[in-house]
Structure formats: structure tokens, C-alpha cells
A and B are shown apart, each in its own frame.
Chain A
């Protein structure tokens, strides 16, 4: 009930300091299409309303005016609409100058386009080749070993994954930050293997977080390591081990004490936790604990925590899948960090953005692995014989393949739209949530259907589909750990 059905009413006030607690921006939008109609365009509505009333009148028929009126209307709208179009363009240009513009929004042409830029295609191609040549062949053994092969993660870092979120001045690889580029890379990696992709991209979540939201000191302190030869193990730890986990109602807390924060709590399914040198940890500031009853949850924020800090412990937490990523728990017991460890001054909008970007990243991984499942199932059902012909000749099988294709493409386009809105500087809470929803619903379904299409053979480890089944289940439930 505490997280019940009236989220917009959750903003409350701290009695002592007056700081809004849990003041996470509530992302609701009332229409599905934003600014469908600008004020200037509405001028036509009144005319149409009158027109409709006029057109329904019996009297027009009686006096034989209908044909004449229609011609008159056609002529009037011909000119009227052209003028409206001209006015619209003028208005748009004025607004562009007057409105605040975020960094990336200038680069769009305003056209619908599904073609990646040349730079993106290059990086996507490199990631695809790496995934096919290195990740896929290593995947089965890495799953069994619950560890990536020696050197593979370092090799993947050479493709520049940790550089994408780092500004060029600090040694980053690309001039403009692009969530779409990260999505394309993640998708390509996950076509090779989801759990190795997760392991490979986990450190990038930390460099991206510090690149996007770190102040000059934080960037100068941590980013050089991520652009060097030896990228440190690092992880963004948001998830906590309990049912109905809500990243906006954290149980990991950050208590202010002197000039420091004291962190307490448990983080779950943290990739490469045992060997990570650096964490970005989600914890609630100013939470008020209570005995036996729910306390005030506090304001979620991100902290940079070095693994060598006193009170930091890790424990293995292997899961159903994601095994190559060596997931584990991060236990924080009275961990003291300086005030300067707080990212973005604890801005709740930044925290919400981090959660949304994480969901887009998982949607991208799910897209890649879902496509891999479809690509694997197609030749299998064409070759597998039953009742004297390929099983793909049966609609029961063929239609399942069609549905896989519908779901994979749905997932991909929804993910791309969310990421492209990041790049365009538009609000993307809604689109990230919808990509998340499809990741949870369709990602799971695709994993399940892929195993189903191989029948008993899908259930055994001779084929990768049982691994994808396990990995795809994770993509719709994990919060954080990745960023695009």
C-alpha cells in the first residue's frame, strides 16, 4: 500500500530541514502524442465545428446548395491551409530561438529515420564481429565456469565501450554522447551472449555515470582510469534483494554525519562484484527509520564508493542466468564516504534519469539476445523433421516464429525510440517505461518460445536457447547495473 496507486501524492516534507523527501519527479503525461496541436494550429477548430454543424443541416439539401458549398469549402481550405502552414513554420523558427535547447538537440534533422549514422554503423559492425567471433563461442563455457574467459573483458574494452560516456576532453572516444550508439553496441554484444555482454558493459555504467553527472573533481579523479589500458572492474549497484523492489524506495541508506555520509544496506546481483574496484551505489539520503512500521524512505541518490573503503563486503550471488557476469551482493556496513562522493548533488531528476537509462540498456541487451534466439530457431525448425517434413511446414510452429519476429521488432523499435529521445534532449520517461514493459513481457516470452521450438533439445545444454531463456528473464527485472 505504501507504494500504492497514487504516486503523485508521495512528495512529503522533512520536519526538520524542509527538504522534499522522496521528491522523485513523477513521470506522467496525459496524452500519448506530445504537442499534437500547437496553439496556432487550433485556429482552424472553430471553423470546423461550424462547418460540421452546417454540413449536417437538411436545409442545404433542400435549397440545392450542397454542391456549391462544397466547392466553396474546397477553395477556402486550399488557401486557408496553405496560409496556416506558412504561419506554422514561422512560429516554429521563433520558438527554436526562444526555447532553451539541450546540447544534442541541434543535431537532429527532424525527420523520422531508422538509419544509424556512419560512425554508429562502424561501431555497430565492430561490435557485431566481436560478438560473433569472441562472445558467442565463449558463451557456453563462461556460463558453466560462471566466469568470463581470461582477458575477454579487457579485449571488449578495446572496442571503446567505457569511452562512450566519457567527454572527449577527458580522453573519451566520441564527440557527442549518444544513447543510441550505446544501445546499438549493447544489442550487438548481446547477440553474441547476454551475460558476457553484461560483464563487458558493466564498467561502462560507472564511467558513463561519472561522465554525465560527475563534477570536475569526480571526473578528474576517476575517469582517467577508464580511458587507459587497464580498465578497472566497476559496477553500478541499484538492485536490492527483496520482492517488489522499487528503485525509488531504497532500503540502502546514506546518513549524514559530520562532513560525511555513512552508507548501510545490501545491493543485489551486482556484476563482477568480487573484483570491482569502484562502485556507484544507489542509497537514500535522510531516510527516517522506524521500528516495526515503514519509515520515511528518503531521497534516492548515487554515491561513488571505492571497494577498499572500510565496511564494504561482497558475497557471491549466482543467479538463474547472467552467470558469466559473476553477480554478487554488495554489503555496506557503516561505510563512510566523503560528502564529495555524492553525484550530482543528489539531484532527484538525475537519479530518475539513471534508472531510465538503465532500463533502456537492458531493453537493448534483450533485443540482441531475442534476435539471436530468432536467428537460431529459424534454421532449426527448417531442418528438424517430423511426420515426414520440416516442422516449419506446420502453422503451429511457423506462427510461433512469426510471433517471435513481431516481438523482437517491437522491442527493438521501442528501445530505439527511447534512446533517440535521449539524444534529442526530449523527455524519455514514458518511452523508457514502455521499452521496459516489453522487455519484461516479450523478452521472457521470446526466451520461452525459443526453447519450446526446440522441444526437449531446447531444454538441454547442447543448444544455447536454454541459456537465453535464463538470461532473458533477467533483462526485465534488474534495475541499474547498466547505462546507455
Chain B
């Protein structure tokens, strides 16, 4: 039966995430926006709480939840992909930056959860893993990474050399999943990901960024200089298989894009709710029945923004639901990411406008959300990259045809 409501069985989980957002994330929002690079120690306690949640079997609340369950079962499934996006919406309603820097919920954890073998899963369990893809000269085109990984037979290690930038939680994480090429002359097929211990002396943190938003989350730059990594830390197969390997690495994104979409949905929800409250104080309320054209311009704007929010939410739930049901969702993941990414920024910025100086001032959080939201239309594939992915799939074009 067609039903697009949040599943009943996830209501307690969503409610718990909402409480975490209300009681821990929101109260610390401004503090760590102002104190960029200060470690939000309140989160250690929270992370312990989330571990407790995961252990209790109530459901995953973070990135570890995106591993695709291979078990066969008949009928409709509402699983960890859906529960994860729903709880992320709530925590990002609280604060995106703090959600991003939640210990042990890094993007690297998603990569490990998605592609690691059982031995690796076990070895890296309980560790906080960041993800290092971007380089000074390599952004959206992940297949062009210049960092190299040369195999050393004598020690059964890979030796990594290169520079990585924009590594979320790079300073705070225990592990960094580094994308590097086994042979740059062989293109994308040679790109592999390696789990590097943060303590590895060959990997030096050289810079922390100062950013427009998500300041609670640290963004690091690393130099890898003859950084030696055990061969057992390579995720996936060491073979350079033109057909499979890069697609395998990129497959992570089918699982993580809905998560970023969910973050944008959460920010949009926060901005809409607060703006609705502020407007109600001055006598503006949306009437869902009367045509927008006969309501005030502010009410009509809220209706428009809320419709984009609704679409973003449902596209995100669809992508996650398809992952839960083991349907290929690459197209839907990008539809969700593109729509939610643009909507998060648009909603937050226009809510600032609706609320005037109240929206723009640091006295409240709207201006912060407008700054936080922008990154969600950029990382995990920019708006433009999502449009490319969607177009290539619909038009059946290769990256050579449609550049």
C-alpha cells in the first residue's frame, strides 16, 4: 500500500534524535559557530549515548547505518537507510556542524561500512573515520586524483604521496580513508581507498580551514609524504579492473548522498519552523486551503518554500527506501541531493529575508543556518555534478559524451 509517512516503528528513534537536537545540539549551536576549531566536548557524551542506542537495537542514528543488508526477505522493507535519513533530519534540525562532527559517524565510516570486508569491519570497529578525496587541483572529478599509492612488496605496504584538502573531521578522527591511485596512467580504474591511521607519521595535518558555516566541524588539509600503510588497509580489491573498481568506490555515494540530502532537509525544516513562528507573532499564518494568491506575500512565500521542502523530504525518503529494498538508487540519490541541496540554501536564505534584521542578526540562528546550508549543495557532489549524473542516466550518455 502506498504510504509516504514516516514509518511507525521509527517514531521512537526520530523522537530521540529530536530530543538530542533540542537539548544538546541547539543549545551549543552558537557556541561552536563562534568558537571555530574548538572541540565540542559535549559530543563525546552524546556519541556514547548514540553507541548505546545502536547497541540497544533501537536503530542506527548515524553513518554506520548505511551498509546494505544482504539478507533476503520478502516484501517491503523499512531499514537502516530510511531510519538514518530520518534521524539525521532531526539532528540537523538541531545543528548541521555538530552533526557532521559527531564522533564515529564520519563519512569514512560510511565508506568502511559500505565496502570493507568482514575482517576490516571488525578491525576498524568503534573508530572515527574521516574521508579524504579532494586535492588542491582535483574537486568534482574524483577520477583525477593525483595522490599515489605504490606497493612495496618487501613490507607488504602501500606508500602514499600527495596532498588532501577539505577533509571533514580530519583533525578529530582516528582514521582517514584516503583515495589514491595505484597507477595514474591507468585512470579511474586504478583509484583505491586506503585506511590511514591518524597517528601515522607519514600523514601530517598542515592546515585547518576557516569557513562560511558548519564551523563546529573541522576541515583539515593533509600532506602524505612516504606514508606507509599496511596492504590489509586497502578497501576493496587491489586489482585494477576497468569495469568494477571505480564504480565500487563511487557506489559509496549512492548511500551517502541521501544522507547529505537529509541534512539539507533538516536545515530547511529548522528555518521554516522558526520563520513560521516569527511570522505568527506579527499575525501572518499560512492557510493551506485558500489560494496562495489571496494570502499575504509572506504566507505565499512560506507555502512555496514548504512545497520545495516537502519534495526534498520525499525524494530523500524515496532514495533511502530504495536502498533498503536493494533497488539501484543512483538516479534517485542524485535527484534527492540536487533538490534538497538547492532547497536547503534557498529556504534558509529566503527565511532570512522574510524575518529581516531578526533573520540576519546573530541574536537568532537563521543567519547561521543560511551559512551552514550552502555546504550541503557542494560536498558529496555539487549541484552541478548531481545534474550531470541525472542527465547521463536519463539520456544514457557516457562521461565522454556529456562532459
B-contacting residues of A (Cβ < 8 Å)?
A: 3-8, 24-33, 35-38, 41-42, 44-45, 48-49, 51-52, 54-56, 61, 66, 69-71, 73-82, 84-85, 88, 92, 107-117, 120, 180, 244-249, 352, 355-356, 374, 378, 381-382, 390, 392-393, 395, 398-399, 401-403, 405-406, 409-411, 413-414, 416-417, 419-421, 423-424, 426, 429-435, 437-438, 440-441, 479
Inter-subunit contact B52/A77 (CB<8 Å): yes
Digitize B290-321: 1 where CB-to-A-CB distance is under 8 Å, 0 elsewhere: 11111110110001101111111011011001
Can you list 8 A-B contacts (CB < 8 A)? A4-B296, A41-B19, A52-B23, A112-B321, A414-B314, A417-B314, A434-B306, A435-B307
A-contacting residues of B (Cβ < 8 Å)?
A: 1-9, 11-12, 14-16, 18-20, 22-24, 27-28, 41-42, 44-49, 51-53, 55-58, 76, 78, 82, 90, 269, 272-273, 276-277, 280, 283-296, 298-299, 303-304, 306-312, 314-315, 317-318, 321, 332, 335, 338-339, 384, 386-388, 390-392, 394-397, 401-403
Inter-subunit contact A38/B292 (CB<8 Å): no
CB distance from A234 to the nearest CB of B (A): 25
CB distance from A278 to the nearest CB of B (A): 26
Cross-chain contact of A114 among B58, B286, B288, B318 (Cβ < 8 A): B318
Inter-subunit contact B76/A417 (CB<8 Å): no
CB distance from A36 to the nearest CB of B (A): 5
CB distance from B400 to the nearest CB of A (A): 10
CB distance from B322 to the nearest CB of A (A): 8
Set of chain B residues within 8 Å of A71, measured between Cβ atoms: 48
Inter-subunit contact B52/A73 (CB<8 Å): yes
Inter-subunit contact B23/A73 (CB<8 Å): no
Cross-chain contact of A7 among B8, B51, B290, B396 (Cβ < 8 A): B290
Inter-subunit contact B304/A112 (CB<8 Å): no
CB distance from B40 to the nearest CB of A (A): 9
Set of chain B residues within 8 Å of A6, measured between Cβ atoms: 283, 285
Set of chain A residues within 8 Å of B309, measured between Cβ atoms: 32
Set of chain A residues within 8 Å of B317, measured between Cβ atoms: 112
A403–B76 Cα distance when bound, in Å, is 29
Q: A32-B272, A244-B294 are in contact. Are A85 and B285 (CB under 8 A)?
A: no
Set of chain B residues within 8 Å of A378, measured between Cβ atoms: 394-395
Cross-chain contact of B15 among A38, A180, A352, A356 (Cβ < 8 A): A38
Inter-subunit contact A74/B2 (CB<8 Å): no
Q: Which residue of A lies closest to B342 (CB)?
A: A406
CB distance from B61 to the nearest CB of A (A): 10
A271–B303 Cα distance when bound, in Å, is 29
A55–B27 Cα distance when bound, in Å, is 12
Set of chain B residues within 8 Å of A77, measured between Cβ atoms: 48-49, 52-53, 56
A6–B282 Cα distance when bound, in Å, is 10
Q: A66-B44, A108-B1, A398-B402 are in contact. Are A41 and B12 (CB under 8 A)?
A: yes
Cross-chain contact of A28 among B8, B285, B307, B392 (Cβ < 8 A): B285
Set of chain B residues within 8 Å of A395, measured between Cβ atoms: 384, 387-388, 391, 402-403
Q: Which residue of B lies closest to A25 (CB)?
A: B289
Inter-subunit contact A107/B1 (CB<8 Å): yes
Q: A45-B22, A74-B48, A401-B394 are in contact. Are A112 and B6 (CB under 8 A)?
A: yes
Q: Which residue of A lies closest to B289 (CB)?
A: A27
Cross-chain contact of B390 among A393, A402, A429 (Cβ < 8 A): A402
Cross-chain contact of A393 among B53, B78, B335, B397 (Cβ < 8 A): B397
Inter-subunit contact A61/B41 (CB<8 Å): yes
9 smallest beta-carbon distances between A and B, as pairs: A410-B311, A5-B296, A110-B8, A77-B52, A398-B391, A48-B23, A413-B314, A433-B288, A437-B307
